[in-house]
Structure 1
Amino acid sequence: MTTSVVPAAGKGTRLGTKLPKTLIPIAGKPIIAWTVETLEQTPIIDSIVLVAPDEFIGEFKKLCSENSWEKVVAIVAGGLDRQQSVWNGLKVMPEETEWVIVHDAARPLVKPSLILAVWEAANEIGTGAIAALPCPDTVKRTLDGVLIAETLDREQIWLAQTPQVFAADLLKEAHEQAIKDGCSATDDAMLVERLGVPIRLVMGDPLNIKITNPVDISLAEALIAYKV
C-alpha cells in the first residue's frame, strides 16, 4: 500500500491572509482541492492523510465530503512546524503502508506523471527518491547576509521539491531518530539522509511551484488558465 501524507497546516502570513495557505482559492477553488484531486487521480496512491491546522479541521472535513475525496482516510492536526506535521501524519497512516509519498499541499500543480516517476525511482532503489531541479543560478554562500563568503559549485546543487517518496519504515525511523537527537529539518529527505542510506534524485518540474508569495498565486492561476 502507498499512502500520501500531505502537510497542509502552513499559515498564510506571507500571503497577507489569516486563512491557512491551503484554503486560499486559486482559479475558483482552494489550493488544497487542486492538490488532493491530483493525488486522488494518481493510480499508485491508495490512501491520503491530510495534516491540517487544528482550528480548521472542520473546514477540511467539509471539503472532503463536498468533493467526495474517496482516498482520504484521516485528517489530523499539524504540529509546530512542517516536520512535526509530517510526523503527526505518519502516526495515523494505515498500518499496511509500505511506501509514503510526502507532498506539500502548497504545490497544487504537481502532475501524476511526476508522482509516478518519483515513486518508481524509490521502489527501484529500495529506500527513497525525491523530485528536484538542477540549480540554474550562480550560488553564493554568506555568513551574515551582507558579504559573500564563497561561491558554491552549482553543478552539485539541486533544488528539492515534493513529492518525496520513502519506504514507510525507513521514514518513520528517520523521524523517530530526529526526535531523539533534537534535529530539525525542512524536508523529509534531510532526515532520511541522516541514516546514511541512498536517496535518488528525479528530475522535477519547474511548473511544480510552491505557493509562498502573492505572485505565486497569480502565476499558478495563469498556468491553470493556459492548461500548462
Structure 2
Amino acid sequence: MTISVVPAAGLGRRLNPTTPVPKALQPLCGKPLISWVMATLERVPVIDGIVVVVPPGNGAAFEALRQREGWQKPCQFVDGGADRQQSVWQGLRALPPETEWVIVHDAARPLVTPALVLAVWEAAREIGSAAIAALPCTDTVKRSLDGALIAETLDRQQLWLAQTPQAFAADILLTAHEQAIQEGYTATDDAMLVERLGVPVRLVLGDPTNLKVTYPTDLCVAEALLKLCRREVAAN
C-alpha cells in the first residue's frame, strides 16, 4: 500500500500577512492550492490513500472542500504540529499499518504532475529506500556566516535544489523521524532525516514549474503557468 502525506498545516503569513487563511486554502485560478495538489494525486494510480495534515482547528474547512469537490481516494485529515517536521510526523502516525510506501508532497507545490509523482515513487522502489524530485542548481551559491560578507562560494556542479514529491519506504521514514525526535534534530525536508540514517536517497530530475508558493509573487507565477498550460492544451 502507498499513502501520500500532504503537509498543508502552514498559515501562509508570508503569502498573505493580512488574512489569516491557511496557505493550502489560498486561491489559485479560482481553486485553493490544495485542490490542485489533490487533483494530481488522484490521478496517480499507485496512491491508495491520502493523509492531509491541516492547521489545528481547520479540519472542517478541508472536509467541506473534499465533499464539495468530490475527492475519490480515501482521505484523512489530521492536525499538524508546530513546524513542518512535526506536521509530517503527525501524518505518519496516521498511516494504516499495512503502508509500505509513503509519498510526501507539499500543498504549497500546486503544479506538480502525476508523471513526476510516479517517477519519484518508481525510483524509490527501484533502490528499495527513498527518492526525491530535485533540480540541478544553476545559480552561483554563496555562503555567509553573518549575512553581510561572503565566506565562500560553493561548487554548484555538486548542488541540487530539493523539491517534493519525496518517496520513502514507510519503515525507513518512520525510523528517521523517530530518531530525529529522540535526538532533538530538526530538518527542512524529510530526505534530510533519512540521509542521517546512511540510507541512499536517489535524485530524480524535477520540474522547474513545480515551484513552491511562498510569496505573493510565487502565486502570480503559478497563475501565469497554469494559464499558459491551459492555452497549450486548448491549442492542441
Length-normalised TM-score, structure 1 = 0.98
Q: Secondary structure at the match of 2:58?
A: helix
- Counterpart CA distance in 1 for 2:79 and 2:4 is 16
- Counterpart CA distance in 2 for 1:83 and 1:225 is 33
1:8-27 map, 5 Å: 8-16=8-16, 17-27=19-29
Native 8 Å contact 1:129 1:165 kept in 2: yes
Give the residue type in structure 1 aligned to 2:217. Answer: V
Structure 2 counterpart of 1:34: 36
Structure 2 counterpart of 1:212: 214
1:24-64 deviations in Å (ceiling 9; x for gaps): 10100100101111101111111100000012111001011
Match of 2:200 among 175, 190, 198: 198
- Counterpart CA distance in 2 for 1:209 and 1:32 is 14
1:149-188 map, 5 Å: 149-188=151-190
Segments of structure 1 that go 5 or more residues without pairing to the other structure are none
- Counterpart CA distance in 2 for 1:98 and 1:12 is 32
- Counterpart CA distance in 1 for 2:65 and 2:105 is 19
1:82-93 map, 5 Å: 82-93=84-95
Q: How many residues align?
A: 228
Moved more, 82-91 or 218-227: 218-227
Segments of structure 2 that go 5 or more residues without pairing to the other structure are none
Structure 2 counterpart of 1:62: 64
Native 8 Å contact 2:48 2:74 kept in 1: no
Structure 1 counterpart of 2:223: 221
- Counterpart CA distance in 1 for 2:75 and 2:191 is 24
- Counterpart CA distance in 2 for 1:73 and 1:39 is 11
Give the residue type in structure 2 aligned to 1:5. Answer: V
Give the residue type in structure 2 aligned to 1:122. Answer: A
- Counterpart CA distance in 2 for 1:127 and 1:96 is 17
Length-normalised TM-score, structure 2 = 0.95
Q: For residue 100 of structure 1, report the CA deviation from its aligned partner.
A: 0.2
- Counterpart CA distance in 1 for 2:181 and 2:198 is 17
Q: Does 1:4 align with 2:15?
A: no
Q: Secondary structure at the match of 1:136?
A: coil
Work out the percentage of aligned pairs sharing the same amino acid. Answer: 65
> Post-superposition, which runs of at least 4 consecutive aligned residues in structure 1 deviate over 2 A?
none
Native 8 Å contact 1:50 1:72 kept in 2: no
Match of 2:129 among 127, 130, 134: 127
Structure 1 counterpart of 2:149: 147
